Amino acid sequence: MREAEDKLILSLCKEKDLGIVGRTDEELIKKFREVYKDHLELLTKATLGDNKALKRLRWVLGLKVIT
């Protein structure tokens, strides 16, 4: 589960510069989890296939949301 969340985090970070800087993927993931700690439940639900949670997470991150 954690691995799938990490892949989603990296995908979201690559899609748009979220202002999170890390030298390695692990640092980037750690920083994302610190910055967006209030939205980790959305991340978990999105990883499990909850489309509504993914849309809301993308909205929170300022990414394009297709309805």
What distances in angstroms separate CA 21 from CA 32, 34, 44, 67, one per listed residue? 9, 12, 22, 30
* Residue range of the domain that includes 26: 2-61
In a domain, 49, yes or no: yes
pLDDT of residue 67: 74
- For residue 46, being part of any structural domain is answered with yes
Question: Amino acid identity, residue 58?
Answer: R
Give the integer Cα–Cα distance in Å for 30 and 57.
17
**pLDDT tens digits for range 25-60:** 998 899 899 999 999 999 999 999 999 999 999 999
Q: In whole angstroms, how far apart are CA 16 and each of 1, 13, 43, 45, 66?
A: 23, 6, 16, 21, 15
Tell me if 67 is assigned to some domain. Answer: no
Query: What per-residue confidence (pLDDT) applies to 56?
Result: 96
pTM of the shown model: 0.86
- Residue 42 and residue 60 in contact, taking contact as beta carbons nearer than 8 Å: yes
pLDDT category at 16 given cuts 50, 70, 90 is confident
Q: Is the pLDDT of residue 22 over 80?
A: no
